[in-house]
Copies of this chain bind each other. A is one copy, B any other.
Amino acid sequence: MTDSNAKDSVGIVKPQSIHFDEALTLRSGKVIEAYDLMIECYGELNDDKSNAILICHALSSDHHAAGFHSTEGVVDKKPGWWDTCIGPGKPIDSNKFFIVSLNNLGGCAGSTGPTSTNPATNKAYGPDFPIVTVRDWVKSQARLADYLGIEQWAAVIGGSLGGMQVLRWAISYPERLRHAVVIAAAPKLSAQNIAFNEVARQSITSDPDFHQGHYYEHNTYPKKGLTLARMIGHITYLSDSSMRDKFGKDSLTEGNFGRDLSTGKLNFGFDVDFQVESYLQYKGESFSSNFDANTYLLITKTLDYFDPAVDYEGDLSKAFLQGKCKFLVVSFSSDWRFPPERSREIVDTLLKAKRQVSYLEIESDGGHDAFLLPVPRYLEGLSSYLSVVANEPVTTEKSSHAS
Protein backbone atom coordinates (compact mmCIF):
# COMPACT_ATOMS: atom_id res chain seq x y z
CA MET A 1 0.00 0.00 0.00
CA THR A 2 1.10 3.49 -0.77
CA ASP A 3 1.78 5.99 2.03
CA SER A 4 1.61 9.76 2.06
CA ASN A 5 5.33 10.03 1.33
CA ALA A 6 5.24 7.74 -1.67
CA LYS A 7 6.35 9.43 -4.88
CA ASP A 8 3.10 8.59 -6.62
CA SER A 9 0.85 9.80 -3.81
CA VAL A 10 -0.79 13.20 -3.73
CA GLY A 11 0.29 13.11 -0.07
CA ILE A 12 -1.62 14.86 2.67
CA VAL A 13 -4.77 16.52 1.37
CA LYS A 14 -7.14 18.92 3.03
CA PRO A 15 -10.85 18.81 2.22
CA GLN A 16 -12.65 22.13 1.99
CA SER A 17 -16.29 22.98 2.38
CA ILE A 18 -17.80 25.43 -0.10
CA HIS A 19 -21.02 27.21 0.66
CA PHE A 20 -23.58 27.92 -2.05
CA ASP A 21 -26.20 30.53 -1.34
CA GLU A 22 -28.20 30.29 -4.51
CA ALA A 23 -31.28 28.08 -4.17
CA LEU A 24 -31.17 24.82 -6.13
CA THR A 25 -34.43 23.62 -7.66
CA LEU A 26 -34.37 19.87 -7.86
CA ARG A 27 -35.93 17.67 -10.49
CA SER A 28 -38.66 16.75 -8.02
CA GLY A 29 -39.62 20.43 -7.86
CA LYS A 30 -38.35 20.77 -4.31
CA VAL A 31 -35.90 23.51 -3.52
CA ILE A 32 -32.73 23.46 -1.43
CA GLU A 33 -32.23 27.07 -0.37
CA ALA A 34 -28.55 26.84 0.39
CA TYR A 35 -26.02 24.04 0.67
CA ASP A 36 -22.41 23.10 1.24
CA LEU A 37 -20.28 20.86 -0.91
CA MET A 38 -17.21 19.21 0.54
CA ILE A 39 -14.40 18.92 -1.97
CA GLU A 40 -10.77 17.92 -2.39
CA CYS A 41 -8.37 19.06 -5.09
CA TYR A 42 -5.16 17.47 -6.31
CA GLY A 43 -2.60 19.07 -8.66
CA GLU A 44 -2.50 22.64 -9.94
CA LEU A 45 -4.95 24.50 -12.15
CA ASN A 46 -3.03 25.87 -15.16
CA ASP A 47 -3.24 29.45 -16.34
CA ASP A 48 -5.94 29.00 -18.94
CA LYS A 49 -7.84 26.71 -16.58
CA SER A 50 -7.97 24.03 -19.22
CA ASN A 51 -6.50 21.13 -17.26
CA ALA A 52 -9.28 20.47 -14.75
CA ILE A 53 -10.75 17.02 -14.24
CA LEU A 54 -13.87 16.32 -12.23
CA ILE A 55 -14.15 13.01 -10.40
CA CYS A 56 -17.72 11.78 -9.75
CA HIS A 57 -18.21 9.26 -6.98
CA ALA A 58 -20.32 6.12 -6.72
CA LEU A 59 -22.97 5.04 -4.21
CA SER A 60 -20.99 4.96 -1.00
CA SER A 61 -17.98 7.13 -1.72
CA ASP A 62 -17.14 10.74 -1.05
CA HIS A 63 -14.75 13.57 -1.88
CA HIS A 64 -11.74 11.77 -0.45
CA ALA A 65 -10.55 10.12 -3.65
CA ALA A 66 -6.78 10.25 -3.23
CA GLY A 67 -4.01 10.80 -0.72
CA PHE A 68 -4.27 10.89 3.05
CA HIS A 69 -5.89 13.19 5.55
CA SER A 70 -3.26 12.54 8.16
CA THR A 71 0.15 11.01 8.57
CA GLU A 72 -1.17 9.29 11.66
CA GLY A 73 -1.83 5.69 10.70
CA VAL A 74 -4.56 5.43 13.27
CA VAL A 75 -6.74 8.12 11.77
CA ASP A 76 -6.09 7.38 8.16
CA LYS A 77 -4.81 3.92 7.50
CA LYS A 78 -6.07 3.85 3.95
CA PRO A 79 -5.70 6.43 1.19
CA GLY A 80 -8.68 7.88 -0.72
CA TRP A 81 -10.96 5.50 -2.56
CA TRP A 82 -9.38 5.96 -6.00
CA ASP A 83 -5.76 6.31 -4.99
CA THR A 84 -4.90 3.54 -7.49
CA CYS A 85 -5.79 5.96 -10.29
CA ILE A 86 -5.11 9.43 -8.97
CA GLY A 87 -1.66 10.82 -8.18
CA PRO A 88 1.65 11.93 -9.68
CA GLY A 89 2.39 9.69 -12.65
CA LYS A 90 -0.81 7.72 -12.18
CA PRO A 91 -3.49 7.44 -14.90
CA ILE A 92 -5.29 10.56 -13.61
CA ASP A 93 -2.02 12.37 -13.24
CA SER A 94 -1.88 15.15 -10.68
CA ASN A 95 1.32 16.41 -12.32
CA LYS A 96 -0.69 17.22 -15.42
CA PHE A 97 -4.22 17.82 -14.21
CA PHE A 98 -6.04 19.81 -11.58
CA ILE A 99 -8.32 17.15 -10.16
CA VAL A 100 -11.50 18.01 -8.28
CA SER A 101 -13.44 15.49 -6.26
CA LEU A 102 -16.59 16.21 -4.26
CA ASN A 103 -19.05 14.67 -1.89
CA ASN A 104 -22.40 14.89 -3.63
CA LEU A 105 -25.46 16.60 -2.27
CA GLY A 106 -27.34 14.21 0.01
CA GLY A 107 -24.07 12.58 1.04
CA CYS A 108 -22.86 12.07 4.57
CA ALA A 109 -19.22 13.14 4.39
CA GLY A 110 -19.59 16.87 4.85
CA SER A 111 -21.83 18.01 2.00
CA THR A 112 -25.39 18.99 2.81
CA GLY A 113 -27.43 15.87 3.31
CA PRO A 114 -29.83 14.10 5.68
CA THR A 115 -27.52 14.56 8.66
CA SER A 116 -27.32 18.35 8.09
CA THR A 117 -29.54 20.82 9.88
CA ASN A 118 -32.70 21.69 8.02
CA PRO A 119 -32.98 25.49 8.35
CA ALA A 120 -36.77 25.18 8.29
CA THR A 121 -36.87 23.07 11.44
CA ASN A 122 -33.44 23.52 13.04
CA LYS A 123 -33.29 19.76 13.26
CA ALA A 124 -31.50 17.27 11.04
CA TYR A 125 -33.21 16.78 7.68
CA GLY A 126 -33.29 13.04 8.21
CA PRO A 127 -35.87 11.43 5.94
CA ASP A 128 -37.10 14.87 4.84
CA PHE A 129 -34.04 15.50 2.77
CA PRO A 130 -35.40 15.65 -0.78
CA ILE A 131 -34.59 12.95 -3.30
CA VAL A 132 -31.77 14.13 -5.51
CA THR A 133 -31.23 12.84 -9.03
CA VAL A 134 -28.07 12.55 -11.07
CA ARG A 135 -29.26 15.62 -12.95
CA ASP A 136 -29.48 17.58 -9.70
CA TRP A 137 -25.99 16.49 -8.74
CA VAL A 138 -24.56 17.53 -12.07
CA LYS A 139 -26.30 20.90 -11.74
CA SER A 140 -24.63 21.38 -8.37
CA GLN A 141 -21.31 20.25 -9.85
CA ALA A 142 -21.67 22.83 -12.63
CA ARG A 143 -22.07 25.50 -9.97
CA LEU A 144 -18.97 24.14 -8.30
CA ALA A 145 -17.14 24.55 -11.62
CA ASP A 146 -18.36 28.15 -11.79
CA TYR A 147 -17.12 28.76 -8.28
CA LEU A 148 -13.70 27.34 -9.17
CA GLY A 149 -13.62 29.38 -12.37
CA ILE A 150 -13.55 26.30 -14.54
CA GLU A 151 -15.52 26.91 -17.68
CA GLN A 152 -14.71 23.61 -19.27
CA TRP A 153 -13.42 20.38 -17.78
CA ALA A 154 -10.69 18.59 -19.67
CA ALA A 155 -12.55 15.47 -18.58
CA VAL A 156 -15.29 14.34 -16.28
CA ILE A 157 -14.57 10.86 -14.98
CA GLY A 158 -16.52 8.39 -12.89
CA GLY A 159 -17.19 4.73 -12.25
CA SER A 160 -20.57 3.08 -11.61
CA LEU A 161 -23.02 5.78 -10.46
CA GLY A 162 -20.09 8.13 -11.13
CA GLY A 163 -20.19 7.12 -14.80
CA MET A 164 -23.87 8.02 -14.89
CA GLN A 165 -23.01 11.55 -13.73
CA VAL A 166 -20.48 11.71 -16.56
CA LEU A 167 -23.19 10.79 -19.09
CA ARG A 168 -25.47 13.44 -17.64
CA TRP A 169 -22.67 16.05 -17.92
CA ALA A 170 -22.26 15.24 -21.61
CA ILE A 171 -25.98 15.70 -22.22
CA SER A 172 -26.77 18.66 -19.93
CA TYR A 173 -23.59 20.73 -20.30
CA PRO A 174 -22.14 19.72 -23.67
CA GLU A 175 -19.86 22.75 -23.90
CA ARG A 176 -18.38 22.28 -20.49
CA LEU A 177 -16.35 19.09 -20.95
CA ARG A 178 -13.98 17.85 -23.63
CA HIS A 179 -13.90 14.21 -22.55
CA ALA A 180 -16.35 11.94 -20.79
CA VAL A 181 -14.85 8.85 -19.17
CA VAL A 182 -17.63 6.44 -18.26
CA ILE A 183 -16.44 3.39 -16.31
CA ALA A 184 -18.43 0.29 -15.26
CA ALA A 185 -21.74 2.09 -15.76
CA ALA A 186 -25.07 1.51 -17.48
CA PRO A 187 -27.47 3.73 -19.42
CA LYS A 188 -30.06 2.98 -16.74
CA LEU A 189 -30.68 0.36 -14.10
CA SER A 190 -31.99 -3.09 -14.95
CA ALA A 191 -35.00 -4.51 -13.14
CA GLN A 192 -32.55 -6.75 -11.27
CA ASN A 193 -30.46 -3.75 -10.18
CA ILE A 194 -33.59 -2.00 -8.90
CA ALA A 195 -34.70 -5.19 -7.16
CA PHE A 196 -31.44 -5.41 -5.22
CA ASN A 197 -31.74 -1.73 -4.27
CA GLU A 198 -35.29 -2.26 -3.08
CA VAL A 199 -34.26 -5.19 -0.88
CA ALA A 200 -31.48 -3.04 0.57
CA ARG A 201 -33.95 -0.24 1.29
CA GLN A 202 -36.45 -2.60 2.89
CA SER A 203 -33.76 -4.04 5.12
CA ILE A 204 -32.99 -0.54 6.40
CA THR A 205 -36.54 0.70 6.78
CA SER A 206 -37.73 -2.46 8.54
CA ASP A 207 -35.04 -2.17 11.22
CA PRO A 208 -36.87 -0.98 14.37
CA ASP A 209 -33.95 1.38 15.05
CA PHE A 210 -34.76 3.22 11.83
CA HIS A 211 -37.64 5.14 13.45
CA GLN A 212 -38.97 6.24 10.06
CA GLY A 213 -35.63 7.87 9.39
CA HIS A 214 -35.63 9.93 12.59
CA TYR A 215 -33.08 7.72 14.32
CA TYR A 216 -30.78 10.67 15.12
CA GLU A 217 -33.35 11.94 17.59
CA HIS A 218 -33.37 8.51 19.25
CA ASN A 219 -29.58 8.45 19.51
CA THR A 220 -29.43 5.28 17.52
CA TYR A 221 -29.12 4.10 13.94
CA PRO A 222 -30.41 1.12 11.96
CA LYS A 223 -27.19 -0.82 12.35
CA LYS A 224 -28.57 -4.24 11.45
CA GLY A 225 -30.57 -2.97 8.50
CA LEU A 226 -27.70 -0.98 7.03
CA THR A 227 -25.33 -3.89 7.62
CA LEU A 228 -27.68 -6.16 5.70
CA ALA A 229 -28.08 -3.61 2.92
CA ARG A 230 -24.34 -3.36 2.56
CA MET A 231 -23.91 -7.14 2.63
CA ILE A 232 -26.37 -7.42 -0.26
CA GLY A 233 -24.59 -4.63 -2.11
CA HIS A 234 -21.21 -6.19 -1.47
CA ILE A 235 -22.26 -9.51 -3.00
CA THR A 236 -23.23 -7.66 -6.17
CA TYR A 237 -19.90 -5.80 -6.30
CA LEU A 238 -17.85 -8.99 -6.31
CA SER A 239 -17.83 -11.63 -9.01
CA ASP A 240 -18.64 -15.23 -8.22
CA SER A 241 -15.08 -16.15 -9.19
CA SER A 242 -13.45 -13.43 -7.08
CA MET A 243 -15.42 -14.70 -4.10
CA ARG A 244 -14.27 -18.22 -4.88
CA ASP A 245 -10.67 -17.03 -5.06
CA LYS A 246 -11.03 -15.18 -1.80
CA PHE A 247 -12.90 -17.80 0.20
CA GLY A 248 -13.17 -21.04 -1.64
CA LYS A 249 -10.24 -21.86 -3.82
CA ASP A 250 -8.20 -24.07 -1.55
CA SER A 251 -11.29 -25.50 -0.03
CA LEU A 252 -12.72 -26.40 -3.43
CA THR A 253 -9.90 -28.91 -3.71
CA GLU A 254 -9.68 -29.68 -0.02
CA GLY A 255 -13.40 -30.13 0.19
CA ASN A 256 -13.80 -28.00 3.28
CA PHE A 257 -14.47 -24.59 1.75
CA GLY A 258 -12.94 -22.62 4.59
CA ARG A 259 -15.21 -24.28 7.07
CA ASP A 260 -15.08 -23.20 10.65
CA LEU A 261 -12.17 -20.91 10.85
CA SER A 262 -10.42 -22.63 13.73
CA THR A 263 -11.33 -26.31 13.59
CA GLY A 264 -12.33 -26.78 9.97
CA LYS A 265 -15.49 -28.48 11.19
CA LEU A 266 -19.12 -27.57 10.63
CA ASN A 267 -20.79 -26.29 13.74
CA PHE A 268 -24.30 -27.55 12.91
CA GLY A 269 -25.79 -24.35 14.22
CA PHE A 270 -26.44 -20.83 13.00
CA ASP A 271 -23.10 -19.36 13.91
CA VAL A 272 -20.65 -18.59 11.17
CA ASP A 273 -19.45 -21.70 9.32
CA PHE A 274 -17.85 -20.15 6.28
CA GLN A 275 -15.30 -17.40 5.87
CA VAL A 276 -17.51 -15.60 3.39
CA GLU A 277 -20.17 -15.18 6.08
CA SER A 278 -17.85 -13.53 8.59
CA TYR A 279 -16.24 -11.43 5.87
CA LEU A 280 -19.58 -10.03 4.72
CA GLN A 281 -20.73 -9.41 8.28
CA TYR A 282 -17.50 -7.60 9.06
CA LYS A 283 -17.72 -5.50 5.90
CA GLY A 284 -21.38 -4.71 6.50
CA GLU A 285 -20.93 -3.75 10.12
CA SER A 286 -17.90 -1.56 9.58
CA PHE A 287 -19.75 0.20 6.77
CA SER A 288 -22.86 0.73 8.86
CA SER A 289 -20.93 2.50 11.58
CA ASN A 290 -19.44 4.95 9.06
CA PHE A 291 -22.28 5.73 6.69
CA ASP A 292 -25.64 7.36 7.14
CA ALA A 293 -28.65 5.14 6.45
CA ASN A 294 -30.80 7.98 5.09
CA THR A 295 -28.04 8.82 2.61
CA TYR A 296 -27.88 5.17 1.58
CA LEU A 297 -31.63 5.13 0.97
CA LEU A 298 -31.45 8.38 -0.95
CA ILE A 299 -28.63 7.34 -3.23
CA THR A 300 -30.18 3.99 -4.11
CA LYS A 301 -33.14 6.02 -5.37
CA THR A 302 -30.77 8.30 -7.29
CA LEU A 303 -29.52 5.17 -9.02
CA ASP A 304 -33.01 3.81 -9.71
CA TYR A 305 -34.17 7.12 -11.18
CA PHE A 306 -31.24 7.56 -13.55
CA ASP A 307 -32.49 7.55 -17.11
CA PRO A 308 -31.05 10.22 -19.42
CA ALA A 309 -33.36 9.07 -22.23
CA VAL A 310 -36.43 10.15 -20.30
CA ASP A 311 -36.66 13.59 -21.96
CA TYR A 312 -36.04 12.12 -25.42
CA GLU A 313 -38.97 9.74 -25.80
CA GLY A 314 -36.86 7.00 -24.31
CA ASP A 315 -34.38 7.25 -27.17
CA LEU A 316 -30.93 7.50 -25.63
CA SER A 317 -29.32 8.25 -28.99
CA LYS A 318 -31.38 11.44 -29.16
CA ALA A 319 -30.09 12.36 -25.71
CA PHE A 320 -26.53 11.76 -26.90
CA LEU A 321 -27.07 14.06 -29.88
CA GLN A 322 -26.63 16.81 -27.31
CA GLY A 323 -23.11 15.61 -26.55
CA LYS A 324 -20.09 17.38 -28.01
CA CYS A 325 -17.27 15.74 -26.11
CA LYS A 326 -15.30 12.61 -26.86
CA PHE A 327 -16.12 9.50 -24.89
CA LEU A 328 -14.14 6.70 -23.34
CA VAL A 329 -16.29 3.83 -22.11
CA VAL A 330 -14.74 1.10 -19.94
CA SER A 331 -16.26 -2.18 -18.74
CA PHE A 332 -15.06 -5.27 -16.88
CA SER A 333 -15.72 -8.84 -17.97
CA SER A 334 -16.85 -10.20 -14.59
CA ASP A 335 -18.98 -7.19 -13.60
CA TRP A 336 -22.49 -8.63 -13.29
CA ARG A 337 -23.98 -5.49 -11.71
CA PHE A 338 -23.32 -3.39 -14.83
CA PRO A 339 -21.94 -5.99 -17.22
CA PRO A 340 -20.10 -5.24 -20.49
CA GLU A 341 -23.38 -5.54 -22.43
CA ARG A 342 -24.62 -2.41 -20.68
CA SER A 343 -21.45 -0.50 -21.60
CA ARG A 344 -21.78 -1.73 -25.17
CA GLU A 345 -25.33 -0.35 -25.16
CA ILE A 346 -23.83 3.05 -24.31
CA VAL A 347 -21.16 2.68 -27.01
CA ASP A 348 -23.60 1.55 -29.70
CA THR A 349 -25.98 4.35 -28.85
CA LEU A 350 -23.17 6.90 -29.00
CA LEU A 351 -22.19 5.54 -32.40
CA LYS A 352 -25.80 5.76 -33.53
CA ALA A 353 -25.68 9.42 -32.49
CA LYS A 354 -22.40 9.73 -34.43
CA ARG A 355 -20.38 10.69 -31.38
CA GLN A 356 -16.68 9.89 -31.07
CA VAL A 357 -16.18 7.01 -28.68
CA SER A 358 -13.42 4.65 -27.59
CA TYR A 359 -14.30 1.44 -25.79
CA LEU A 360 -12.15 -0.64 -23.49
CA GLU A 361 -13.45 -4.01 -22.28
CA ILE A 362 -11.15 -5.28 -19.56
CA GLU A 363 -10.71 -8.92 -18.58
CA SER A 364 -10.89 -9.06 -14.83
CA ASP A 365 -12.19 -11.35 -12.11
CA GLY A 366 -12.81 -8.36 -9.86
CA GLY A 367 -16.52 -7.95 -10.59
CA HIS A 368 -18.03 -4.48 -10.41
CA ASP A 369 -15.37 -3.44 -7.92
CA ALA A 370 -12.70 -3.96 -10.59
CA PHE A 371 -12.97 -0.26 -11.45
CA LEU A 372 -11.29 0.46 -8.11
CA LEU A 373 -8.61 -2.21 -8.49
CA PRO A 374 -5.14 -1.97 -10.01
CA VAL A 375 -5.93 -4.00 -13.13
CA PRO A 376 -2.91 -3.36 -15.38
CA ARG A 377 -4.62 -3.14 -18.79
CA TYR A 378 -7.28 -0.86 -17.31
CA LEU A 379 -4.78 1.52 -15.72
CA GLU A 380 -2.66 1.52 -18.89
CA GLY A 381 -5.68 2.22 -21.09
CA LEU A 382 -6.86 5.04 -18.88
CA SER A 383 -3.35 6.42 -18.64
CA SER A 384 -2.83 6.34 -22.37
CA TYR A 385 -6.18 8.02 -23.08
CA LEU A 386 -5.63 10.77 -20.52
CA SER A 387 -2.05 11.47 -21.64
CA VAL A 388 -3.50 12.33 -25.04
CA VAL A 389 -6.06 14.54 -23.29
CA ALA A 390 -3.25 16.28 -21.38
CA ASN A 391 -1.33 17.06 -24.54
CA GLU A 392 -4.08 17.95 -26.97
CA PRO A 393 -4.45 21.59 -27.94
CA VAL A 394 -7.55 23.18 -26.44
CA THR A 395 -9.32 24.30 -29.57
CA THR A 396 -12.91 23.85 -28.48
CA GLU A 397 -14.82 27.07 -28.80
CA LYS A 398 -15.96 27.99 -25.37
CA SER A 399 -19.52 29.16 -25.08
CA SER A 400 -20.46 31.77 -22.58
CA HIS A 401 -22.81 30.46 -19.96
CA ALA A 402 -24.93 31.84 -17.23
CA SER A 403 -23.50 30.95 -13.85
Contacts and interface: CB of A to CB of B under 8 A. Distances in A.
B191 A268 contact: no
Given A240-B192, A257-B307, A198 B28 contact: no
A348 interface: no
Interface stretch (A118-126, A154-162, A247-255): A247-255
A264 to B, nearest CB: 11
Interface string A203-230: 1011110000000000000001101100
A5 to B, nearest CB: 37
Interface stretch (A99-107, A308-316, A371-379): A308-316
Interface stretch (A34-42, A53-61, A272-280, A324-332): A272-280
A235 B313 contact: no
A243 interface: yes
A192 B242 CA distance: 9
Interface stretch (A62-70, A139-147, A177-185, A297-305): A297-305
B228 A206 contact: yes
A14 interface: no
Given A190-B240, A255-B309, A256-B310, A235 B270 contact: no
A130 interface: yes
Contact of A194 (B127, B276, B297, B310): B276
A314 B254 contact: yes
A248 B190 contact: yes
B246 A231 contact: no
Interface residues of A, number: 66
A81 interface: no
Given A206-B207, A314-B253, A198 B280 contact: yes
Contacts of A297: 270
A255 B307 contact: yes
A232 interface: yes
Residue in A127, A188, A206 whose Cβ sees the most chain B Cβ within 10 Å = A206
20 contacts: A28-B268, A127-B270, A130-B268, A190-B240, A191-B243, A192-B243, A194-B276, A195-B276, A198-B231, A198-B274, A202-B227, A203-B203, A203-B228, A228-B228, A232-B232, A252-B314, A256-B310, A270-B297, A273-B304, A336-B336
Top 5 A-B residue pairs of the complex, sorted by shortest distance between their CB atoms: A255-B314, A28-B268, A191-B243, A206-B224, A191-B247
